[in-house]
Amino acid sequence: MADVSEATGLEKGGVYNHFATKQELACEAFEYAARLVCDRIEKAMAAETDALGRLRAFLDVYRRSPERSPIAGGCPLMNTAIEADDTNPELRRRARAAIERWRGLIATTLEDGMRAGDIVPIDADAAASTMVATVEGGVMLAKVYGDPVHIRAAIDHLESYVNSLDARAAVRNA
């Protein structure tokens, strides 16, 4: 609470005028940070018309310079998932819901792509889990090493993976 007082310039009592409890403040802060991340990914993906373009747009969000990407400070979804894990079931539930919103968007994109004949038949759920896992692990490494080379390696790998899912390239190369 002392940090919040300092950052906002509000007295502790002033902060409590806006949030009934510390828990409410933590949850609202998480929802705000999660919305920033999810909105950014959704906006980038919505600008593309086909599934492969959307998946590449999602990867591009994490390829950009660390200062402008969700890497600065680490990923709030993962940070909250890990820090709230055994200690704060409500925050953990919210972290899981935000991750599922993101993972579900990727799975749906993969399914749309398969239906349109753009993407080879795969297990969309497993692929979405793998893509979110690889990005989150890459963000974690970039943060702990203080070096974006690790998230770039993860994104390069996922880009090759997305290319391997291209049904039309698979036909051309057959």
Binding site for a second copy (CB under 8 A): 73-74, 78-79, 81-83, 85-86, 92, 95-96, 99-100, 103, 123, 125-127, 129-130, 132-138, 140-141, 143-145, 149-154, 156-157, 161
**Minimum CB separation from a second copy for residue 119, in Å?**
16
Q: What angle do CA 95, 100, 106 make, to 5 degrees?
A: 140
In terms of CB distance, is 53 or 74 closer to a second copy? 74
**Minimum CB separation from a second copy for residue 17, in Å?**
28
What CA–CA distance (Å, rounded) separates 143 from 130? Answer: 20
In terms of CB distance, is 48 or 159 closer to a second copy? 159
Sign of CA dihedral 165, 44, 63, 148: negative
Q: What angle do CA 99, 83, 76 make, to 5 degrees?
A: 45
**Minimum CB separation from a second copy for residue 34, in Å?**
13
What CA–CA distance (Å, rounded) separates 87 from 69? Answer: 28
In terms of CB distance, is 133 or 171 closer to a second copy? 133
